[in-house]
Each structure stands twice: as C-alpha cells, then as structure tokens.
Chain A
Amino acid sequence: MITAVRVELLKLRTVRLGYGLLAIPAGLTIVFSILEASRAGTRSGGVAPLNTASGLDSVITGGVWFLIFAAVLGVTVSSGEFRHQTATATYLATPRRGRVLAAKALAAALGGAAFGVAGYLIALGIGLGFVAAKGYPVPIGDATLARYGAGHVLAAALLAAAGAGIGALVRSQLAGVIGVFVWTIIVESVLGGLFTSARPYLPYTAATALAGAPLGGGAFGPAHGASGAAGPLPFAAAAALLAALAAALCAAAARTTVRRDVA
C-alpha cells in the first residue's frame, strides 16, 4: 500500500495541474484576506476590528478557499485516470482496484493536507501582518491558532479524500469538478440559508468550521452569515463527519464504478 501511495504522489508531482490548483486559491486567499483585513474595524466594513478574535477570524477564514480546491484536487486524482486513459497502466500495475482507490484517497489526503497548510499560513500571515502593523496584540491564543491550523489541514485532507471518491464515482473530471463547485457555492448556500438547523452538518460548512471559520463565514450566498439556533459542530464531530463522508464515497465507488470494465 505504501508503494501504491508513493506512486500516486509521484503522479501528482509530475504534472502541472496540482500546482495550478494550488495557485488559484492562493490568489483568492490573498485577495480575500487582505480585503477583510483592510475593512476590519471600519464603519462600513462589517468586519470586527483586528484587535478582536472575531476580526482576526474573518481574515483567517480566507484560507478556506483551499478547502474547495483540495476537494477538486481529489476529484482530479481519480477521474484523471479516465480523462487521460491512464487507468489501463494503473490497473496493470496494481490489479486490485480497491487498493488503487485507497491509495488515491490517501495520496489525495496528503496533497489536500498540503493545501490546508498553505491556506492557513497565507491567511494567518496576512492577518498577523495587519495586526502587527496596527500595533495590536494578537487577539487569539496560541492554542486556538494551533487548533485552527490543525483544522485547516484536517479539513482539506478529508475533503480531498472525499473528492477522490467523487472522481472515482463519476469518472468524468469535468462533471466531478463542476459538481464540487456547484455543491459548495450553490447547493450548500441555498440549503444552509433555508435550513439553518441543518447547516452545521453540511460537509463544506463543517469543513470551514473545522478550520476555525465562524458558522457560515466560509459560505456563499444566503448561508453566509445567516443566523440560526444551531452552532458549529465541535472539532471532533466535524472531523468525524468529513471522514465518514470520504469513507462512504470511496466505499460506494469501490462497490460500483471501480469494478467496471476498462475497455
């Protein structure tokens, strides 16, 4: 299994797609976090001052762009084999397809973890830079910042593994990638806005909560900032939800599409 994971990681490292998927959220996070930091504490900004935990949270939330792209990375890890017809060579080397899928999910998770690290460091760096520039003390304790960091890494890794399951299920890279964006940007926004009690359990929302974003803070549209009685899932519960989702998607793929003929 270790060799199979190393093979999948080598595949990831030897094409440009992964680096491109890393660059896009990096740009988005830089823009989003700088905008939030610039608006913090201003009358029209709607963002709390940077000498408050809420204000710095808003800036760090910019790193959740990497969570979406970690899921996209996962989709490409498995669906790319069919897009480029490389599944034949992969299954000739490792005929046990369940093992291939498990290796892909693990490799995607490791790649996703790197996305989580990048997202957190960029967003945190911008936030702390603005805090320091304004001469404020850091309003969030070290333990909480460490939990946010761990949450970014864990959330991105688990979403990437889930993405690998989605890619194996749909096989079409385009459909899988579009599906991830539609789900995170449209479906969760609508569902989260309409059913606020269910909002904490939506996968992308749970991932952003795991990364330390306020409930709905990483969401789009109606779900963004929508108020409701339900609070964010606790760290362990959010991690368990995402792990269960990734396992369920991979298991479903292993029992269905992964067994199909490679003709």
Chain B
Amino acid sequence: MAAIEVRGLAKRFGRVQAVDGLSFEVARGKVTGFLGPNGAGKTTTLRMLLGLVTPDAGTATIDGRAYADLDEPLHAVGAVLEASGFHPGRTARNHLRIQALAAGADASRVDDVLELTDLAGAADRRVGGFSLGMRQRLGLAAALLADPDILILDEPANGLDPDGVRWLRDLLRGMAAEGAAVLVSSHLLAEVAQTVDEVIVIDRGRLAAQAPLDDMLSTAGPGGSLEEAFFRLTAGNWGAGGSAR
C-alpha cells in the first residue's frame, strides 16, 4: 500500500478550480518532490491530504485512511505547512511542549528536536523574534516530535541558509533511507534535484507528470535539468517518460 494515495481530488474556491481530478501516490523509502507553478494547487492538495480543507470530490488517504481517522495522527505524519503558524509571544520550547503534549510524545523529545534543528540556543526566546529560517526549523522540530514515518512539507527550505538547506537535504534523505515516505513541495528546483527520488508535477490543479527523477531528467535531453523538464511540463509539452497525463 502506498503511504499516501490521492484519487480524483478536486477543490474549487469560488470561480477558481484549485485542484481538478488529481491522482498520485507516494511510496515509502523515497523523497518525492511535489512541484508546480504558483497557484497550481500544491498547498490546497496538501491541506486536503491533512484534513484541513474538505475536498469537493475524491479521496486523499494516509496508509489507507483519511487523516482525521488516524488514531495518533502526529505519530503517523509530521507536517510543515507554513512558517507563520506560531504564537509570536510564546517561546520555541513552550510551542514544542504544547505540540509534544498534543502528540502524546515524551516531553524529553522537546530537547531532542531542539538540538536536531539547531534551535537549542534559541529555545527560550519568543518566536516573534525569529527569522524565517528559524521558524522553518521550529516547524520541522514540531513535525519530528512524535517520530513520524511520513513527512509532508510545504516549501520547507524557504528562508533556510545554505547550511540549513544542506541539513534539511540530509535529514530528508536519511529519513527516506530508514523507510519513511517524504513528500516535499518546493520551488527550488536545483535543490529538489539533489534531494528527491521521484517527482510529481502539477499544473492548474491537474497532474502533469509523476516519474522517477532520472526519467524526468531524461525527458529534458542530454545534460537536461529538472528546471527544463519542469518548464516543458507546465507549458503542456510533456510527452515522454513517466506517467504523464
């Protein structure tokens, strides 16, 4: 069974069809990139997957169950959706204490993830004074608290410095090597190309392609880049390799 399975997912906001019959699967043991232009429906799809937005049609499941039906959701899935979802007057440590309590995770995990995300020195500072990169790290720390084996990350590299980007890459690769399923959306195509095993590209709410990274790169010709493949796909020129629509 795929760790994440999306079938015929659709969502309309007013006159905008944000997601339109989208289907894909995400396997364990891989990092899967989730790519698309601005407004392609990536964030809406991830939010439907996590039960935050109700789809008009279709299903999105994690290990065969809707997110809301998971017994211990934070043990199953770690998610980072936005770098702004923190109370500015609360310290990083207290934010994580709350998340740990909510997740049923051991309180000692708070210090573990603060160390892991290199935030131990800022643990008792209020989040309102954090940089974007520090907020991203805090979001990742919260996502890792309950040691999930599925990660869903929306633009996690935003605001990270080069060290942070490398750290994130190593973290995601390491988790996939241990059998986790990692789904990560990003606009940083060069970075994605160094991190992912599989690529899902969506455009205007529809699947443009899902293929292993190598297959995706081969469509861009000899020495081709993910960026070239991406632009070809989102311009509607995808024609070979993978499971293009």
Contacts and interface: CB of A to CB of B under 8 A. Distances in A.
Interface of A: 3-4, 6-7, 10-11, 14-17, 80, 84-86, 88-96, 259, 261-263
Contact of A93 (B44, B47, B74): B74
B52 A261 contact: yes
21 contacts: A3-B104, A7-B98, A10-B101, A11-B87, A16-B89, A17-B89, A84-B85, A84-B88, A85-B82, A86-B85, A86-B86, A88-B81, A89-B85, A89-B142, A92-B50, A92-B74, A93-B103, A95-B73, A96-B68, A261-B53, A262-B52
B97 interface: yes
A14 B73 contact: no
Nearest to B43: A263
Nearest to A88: B85
B7 interface: no
A87 B84 CA distance: 11
A95 B51 contact: yes
B70 interface: yes
Contact of A7 (B47, B51, B102): B102
Contacts of A90: 102
A93 B88 CA distance: 20
B182 to A, nearest CB: 17
B81 A14 contact: no
A167 to B, nearest CB: 15
A15 B47 contact: no
Contacts of A10: 94, 97-98, 101
Interface footprint category on B: 20 to 34
A85 B104 contact: no
A26 B79 CA distance: 41
Given A16-B89, A95-B68, A95-B73, A89 B99 contact: yes
Nearest to B83: A85
B146 to A, nearest CB: 9
B86 A92 contact: no
Contacts of B97: 10, 14
Given A7-B98, A7-B102, 14 more contacts: A11-B90, A14-B97, A14-B98, A15-B87, A15-B90, A80-B87, A89-B85, A89-B99, A89-B142, A92-B52, A93-B102, A261-B54, A262-B52, A263-B44
Contacts of B67: 95
Contacts of A7: 98, 101-102
A3 B87 contact: no
Nearest to A95: B68
B219 interface: no
B87 A94 contact: no
Contacts of A93: 73-74, 99, 102-103
Contacts of A262: 47, 52-53
B94 A14 contact: yes
A11 B91 CA distance: 11
Contacts of A91: 51-52
Closest 7 CB pairs of A and B: A93-B102, A95-B68, A14-B94, A261-B53, A262-B52, A15-B89, A85-B85
A235 to B, nearest CB: 36
Interface string B57-89: 000000000011010011001010110111111
A88 B52 contact: yes
Interface in B176-196: none
A11 B74 contact: no
Nearest to B143: A92
Contacts of B52: 88, 91-92, 261-263
A6 B99 contact: no
Nearest to B87: A84
